[in-house]
Amino acid sequence: MCGIAGFINLNNKNFEIDKNLLFKMQEKIRHRGPDDAGIWLSSQRGVGLAHVRLSIVDLSLLGHQPMIDKENKVIVSFNGEIYNYKNLKIELESLGYKFYSQCDTESILYAYKEWGIDFVNKLDGDFAIALFDILNNKFYLMRDKVGVKPVYYGLQNNILSFASEIKALFALPWVKKEINNNSVYDYLTFMVTPAPDSIYKNIFKLEAGSYLYLDSNKNIEIKKYYNLLENINLNNIKNNYNNENFVLENIDNLLNNSISKRMMSDTPVGAFLSGGLDSSLNVALMSKFNSKIKTFTVGFENTQELEELKYARQVAKLFNTEHHEIIITEKDAFEFFESMVYQLDEPLADPVCIPFYFVSKLARENNIKVVQVGEGADELFFGYKIYLDYKQFYDLFWENSVKFIPDIIKKYINIFGKKFINNSNYLEILYNWANNRNLFWSGAIAFNEYQKNIIFNNKNLDSFNIIKNKLKNLSDNKNFNKDFANNITYLELTLRLPELLLMRADKMSMLNGVEARVPYLDSKLIEFMLNVPVSLKVKNNVTKYLLKKVAQRYLPDNIIYRKKVGFASPIIKWFESGRYFKKYYKDLLDKEFKNNSLFLPAIKNLDNAYKYHESGLAVQKWTLQNYLTLKKINSL
């Protein structure tokens, strides 16, 4: 795991590369790679690369990056891990390539030389790769299949700039820090700006399974090299995939293989352990491959969730791990908050960022550079109750009513219903139903469209366009079973997971120089699960049914079947009676209206604006607070 950055001049005339700018980019992301750093530049070609390294595989200087081949034809700067690099190395050695290190980066160099850009399809790993073909004057920027590793790029002043984190781009004088109002609107719904946009104008995220290609004539093209839907086979549904035992055996084997290969490291590998199903099963399987695992748990002072620590201790004792805990306070969280917003680069309104940071810090303090985490299990195995609620509502009412009630009748029902419904969530559902829009958008929504119209000073925007574009990919694919539950899984895997959950995991762990690996999001496991019929994923209204059945082979029932408790911060309590965040949020709102604002005055009293609300609108307030803090610390 590392940090990459650089820029390329797109003008044909000579461009003097300022190495001091590369050093500045490097320093902005130094936390991602505290072990080593390097730059490479060519003013003749108008290219500069900067790298910071977190040494995990081959700790020697032979793993130094940027790495160039012995013929000076190809240079690469790579962030991540290639889990099948040893197999690639064997294949490439049989083709005549000589290796000089034991690190996975070298396999990328020779794989590209042998197979061209198609080599990316051979990689099994989590990565962001910048590769410059010196001989042919071509450049590639790549992101892994699932989107575990982030990478950003921008095009300003005819210069292509890129980096693992946006803050490195702002070290360049030609990159301007200007808010994209359309992105703010989408952020308010999805709690993050969906790719390819970022919160800033002219700065973009490379989408999962994609690469940017700059040809020798300086033309830029974004290409998709991996699509989840291309690995769906409806014929499978008619065969073994309806057999529960077959499915369970394959999940068990695939998960074991995923966890085993993510043990690849020349430093010890630990695990985050909440005591819930996902993290506990992960630890159980890790213990098969290493009997000396360190586990890490975080809790908040004076909350009911502290009771959950006993389950983590139970699992740690069961598998004889070296267990560590940290208890944090509202004061700890508040003192970190503004730094958190800065380090995230753009607002990411998931309160889990706070405990994720502190538990990562605890791991690093105990000499752990690599951890395995449970991200993705709920999304892949249909684990959230809200998924089940959506599915039951869709099956009982939505599906047939949308089909058989004429559109004109639905629109009249919508108009009539507004007079009797006060709940803004129900009003949004009614509007979507009447206008044939999707029922499910995301497992984490802050403000729906109805709510945004009350507080946002622009009525011409619509975040449904994000969902519509995603669903078009589904409708164009003939192999995908377009069951409503599969639509939920697809939207979560392509929208919420890469840009919200995986982004928080990367940014908060790497801030401490820790690499977070996600075994539940191995591409082979994902592809298998997308072929499993919904009738097995949700059985007898039991969420995460298949994973629970697999877990019965390794864990006691009180861990598997206990009530699910989220791994989050107690933001409801903080906003209602906290000493720090309650006042901080009010002060931010007061400051917002001293200058021109994107928001309407209704934002000052959300309780009044929406009449009905749950949990004191804590998620909505946290979402606003993150954005307003970004403005504050950047003087925007």
Q: Residue 335: exposed, middle, or buried by beta-carbon count in 10 A (0-12, 13-18, 19+)?
A: exposed
Please name which of 327, 379, 302 lies closest in space to residue 574, comparing C-alpha atoms: 302
| Secondary-structure breakdown of the chain: helix, strand, coil percentages, each rounded to the nearest 5 | 50, 15, 35
Q: What pLDDT, on a 0 to 100 scale, did the predictor assign at position 482?
A: 66
In this predicted structure, the answer to whether residue 613 has a pLDDT above a threshold of 80 is no
| Cis peptide bond prior to 66, omega within 30° of 0 | yes
Please name which of 349, 343, 351, 352 lies closest in space to residue 373, comparing C-alpha atoms: 352
In this predicted structure, the answer to whether residue 273 has a pLDDT above a threshold of 90 is yes
Please name which of 123, 127, 124, 360 lies closest in space to residue 260, comparing C-alpha atoms: 124
Report the range out of 25-34, 465-474, 599-608 with the highest average pLDDT: 25-34
pLDDT band at 320 (very low <50, low <70, confident <90, very high): very high
Q: What pLDDT, on a 0 to 100 scale, did the predictor assign at position 419?
A: 85
Determine the average pLDDT of the residues in 269-288. Answer: 97
In this predicted structure, the answer to whether residue 58 has a pLDDT above a threshold of 90 is no
Determine the average pLDDT of the residues in 464-470. Answer: 93
| Cis peptide bond prior to 196, omega within 30° of 0 | yes
pLDDT band at 322 (very low <50, low <70, confident <90, very high): very high
Determine the average pLDDT of the residues in 43-59. Answer: 93
Sign of CA dihedral 410, 485, 347, 9: negative
- Compute the half-sphere exposure of residue 189: CA atoms within 13 Å on the CB side of its CA: 25
Q: What pLDDT, on a 0 to 100 scale, did the predictor assign at position 544?
A: 95
Least confident of 302-311, 392-401, 614-623: 302-311
Tokens of 362: 């605890």
Determine the average pLDDT of the residues in 270-280. Answer: 96
In this predicted structure, the answer to whether residue 462 has a pLDDT above a threshold of 60 is yes
- Report the alpha-carbon distance of residue 192 to residue 496 in Å, rounded: 8
CB distance 579 to 329 below 8 Å? no
In this predicted structure, the answer to whether residue 382 has a pLDDT above a threshold of 60 is yes
pLDDT band at 471 (very low <50, low <70, confident <90, very high): confident
- Report the alpha-carbon distance of residue 477 to residue 51 in Å, rounded: 39
389, 195, 469, 533: CA torsion to nearest 10: -40
pLDDT band at 431 (very low <50, low <70, confident <90, very high): very high
% of the chain with per-residue pLDDT over 70:
97
C-alpha dist (Å) from residue 612 to 427, 450, 615: 11, 13, 10
| pLDDT tens, position by position, 540-570 | 889 999 999 999 999 999 999 988 776 678 9
| The 3-state secondary structure of 511-534, one letter per residue | CCCCEEECHHHCHHHHHHHHCCCH
Please name which of 483, 403, 452 lies closest in space to residue 603, comparing C-alpha atoms: 452
Please name which of 416, 401, 423, 387 lies closest in space to residue 541, comparing C-alpha atoms: 387
| pLDDT tens, position by position, 132-165 | 999 999 999 999 999 999 999 999 999 999 999 9
Going across the sheet that includes 269-272, the strands are 322-328, 294-300, 269-272, 370-372, 515-517
Identify residue 178 by its one-letter amino acid code: E
- Report the alpha-carbon distance of residue 503 to residue 348 in Å, rounded: 9
Determine the average pLDDT of the residues in 89-108. Answer: 96
Determine the average pLDDT of the residues in 318-344. Answer: 97
Q: Hey, which residues are catalytic here?
A: 2
- Report the alpha-carbon distance of residue 625 to residue 594 in Å, rounded: 16
Please name which of 506, 519, 543, 84 lies closest in space to residue 288, comparing C-alpha atoms: 519
Rounded to a whole number, what is the distance in angstroms from the first to the last CA of the chain? Answer: 32
pLDDT band at 283 (very low <50, low <70, confident <90, very high): very high
Q: What pLDDT, on a 0 to 100 scale, did the predictor assign at position 453?
A: 92
CB distance 194 to 242 below 8 Å? no
Q: What pLDDT, on a 0 to 100 scale, did the predictor assign at position 229?
A: 81
Please name which of 50, 56, 53 lies closest in space to residue 34, comparing C-alpha atoms: 53
Q: What pLDDT, on a 0 to 100 scale, did the predictor assign at position 481?
A: 63
User: What domains does the chain contain, in order, with CATH numbers?
Assistant: 2-180+200-226 (3.60.20.10), 230-381+490-560 (3.40.50.620), 397-480+575-634 (no CATH)
Residue in this structure with the two tokens 């995991």, named with its chain if needed: 505
Q: What pLDDT, on a 0 to 100 scale, did the predictor assign at position 614?
A: 66
Q: What pLDDT, on a 0 to 100 scale, did the predictor assign at position 325?
A: 97
In this predicted structure, the answer to whether residue 232 has a pLDDT above a threshold of 80 is no
- Strands 322-328 and 294-300, how do they pair? parallel
Which run of H or E residues covers position 316?
Answer: helix 309-318
- The beta-strand segments (E) located in 401-560 are 515-517
Contacts (Cβ under 8 Å, ≥6 apart) of 366: 270, 294, 296, 324
Determine the average pLDDT of the residues in 613-623. Answer: 86
Which run of H or E residues covers position 434?
Answer: helix 424-434
Q: What pLDDT, on a 0 to 100 scale, did the predictor assign at position 269?
A: 96
In this predicted structure, the answer to whether residue 105 has a pLDDT above a threshold of 70 is yes
Residue in this structure with the two tokens 């507004």, named with its chain if needed: 418
- Report the alpha-carbon distance of residue 358 to residue 117 in Å, rounded: 39
CB distance 212 to 220 below 8 Å? yes
Sign of CA dihedral 193, 197, 203, 208: positive
Alpha helices in 192-308 (DSSP H): 234-237, 244-261, 277-289
